[in-house]
Amino acid sequence: MSRLEQKINRDLAAIYSQRRARAEQLGELKRARIYEQYPELAAMDRKIQQSGISGLYRFLGDACDDQGLASSIREREDFLAANSITADYDSPEYFCTLCQDSGSLPSGEWCPCRRRLFQKEISKYLPIPFQEGASFANFNLNLFSDQTKDGEQTARERMRELREVTVFYTRYFSQVQDQNLLFSGQTGSGKTFLMQSIGRELLEQGYSVLYVTAPIFFEWMKTMTKLRQSYSPDRGQYEEMELLTDALMSVDLLLLDDLGSEISASWTVESNTSDFLTLLDTRLHKSLHSIIATNLSESDLRATYDKRTYSRLMGNYIFYRFPDGDIRLKLRQQGQ
């Protein structure tokens, strides 16, 4: 179990404990209100409770009279029916009735509420949100040209194929053999929107997903290196960076966007290769899914990164080239 998962599991345990305590308090409040309205019911419950205690003493060998317990229970049932009081009038009011705020079902599986809560908690450690509206339902093929050139496939036909590929990828996420995808295309060609649509769909299925841009990833790694080399690092910042680093290496799906945009005047292959290779190799070794998007072409990738990095990308990722065209510009022109 990863450090991030351990941290979140502790958070969830505390949340469920608070929920159960609140449910029991609400149950006690309901009981108090019913007793205030029907004092005779309170008397019946005390009598049954005492009879039950007497029965326990008798079982343990003490000479206590437990006669009348059955008749007291019948009397109580008749009273509840006559006054239209439900039998669960004093039961706790659980936030989730499926698992009774335990997080797990009788079958031993996690309750759907826990999956949703897990995603909510993990988002506290993931600082980059998805685009508003990023989903397959909002993926508009009409934004892509249907004009053909020299008999080649149109941009719209190409994007229809890519959408079908990614829908299949999410539908059979745990079974697909080609776990890693590499999206290449010009700025505004729809790479980010499509990869985030995948992420949103898988989040709803209960998988853990992390979206991060390449500049931020490399900045995280730079910060983490400095903290590890520091004699007395800031404990809070160190813990936060450990959790983020752990998430990169352990989430079910990593979405790494804008690879290549981290390059700057101070950027060198040597200073970034180690961290990037560690990320790629760790996730490959764990058979975890990754999707990388870049504005660089295949030849640009070869020229920009060293042989080992290029080999990992082209050897372990399915390469998809997006058709040219800036759909973001088209959306702005349409006033959307």
- The answer to whether the CB of 180 falls within 8 A of the CB of 313 is no
Res 265: pLDDT: 45
Say how far apart CA 321 and CA 184 lie, in whole Å.
5
- Mean per-residue pLDDT, 206-224: 87
| pLDDT at residue 139 tops 90 | no
Predicted model pTM: 0.69
Distance, CA of 16 to CA of 13 (rounded, Å): 5
- Answer for the pair 218, 272: CB distance below 8 angstroms, yes or no: yes
Instruction: For residue 206, count CB atoms less than 10 angstroms from its CB and return exposed for 0-12, middle for 13-18, buried for 19 or more.
Output: middle
Count Cβ atoms below 10 Å from residue 189 Cβ, excluding itself: 24
Q: Name the phi and psi angles at 150, rounded to 5.
A: 55, 35
Q: What is the pLDDT of residue 279?
A: 93
Question: Can you name the residues that pair with 9 across neighbouring β-strands?
Answer: none
**The residue count for the chain:** 336
Q: Give the end-to-end CA distance of the chain in Å, rounded to a whole number.
A: 44
Choose between 255 and 229: higher pLDDT: 255
pLDDT at 30: 85
DSSP string of 43-86, one letter each residue: HHHHHHHHHHHHHHHHHHT-----TTHHHHHHHHHHHHHHTT--
Mean pLDDT (the chain, rounded): 82
β-sheet with 318-321: strand ranges across: 209-213, 253-259, 289-294, 180-184, 318-321
- The full set of domains in the chain, from first to last, is 3-82 (no CATH), 126-333 (3.40.50.300)
Whether pLDDT at 243 is above 80: no
State the pLDDT at residue 116: 75
**Residue 66: pLDDT over 60:** no
> For residues 275 and 53, what is the distance between their CA atoms, to the nearest angstrom?
66
Q: 120: closest CA among 201, 195, 209? A: 209
Distance from C-alpha of 236 to C-alpha of 243, rounded to nearest angstrom: 11
Kindly report, residue by residue over 258-315, the tens digit of the pLDDT. 998 887 645 555 556 788 999 999 999 999 999 999 999 999 999 988 899 999 999 9
**What number is the average pLDDT over the span 65-84?**
75
Q: State which amino acid sits at residue 314.
A: M
Q: Is the Cβ–Cβ distance between 146 and 115 less than 8 Å?
A: no
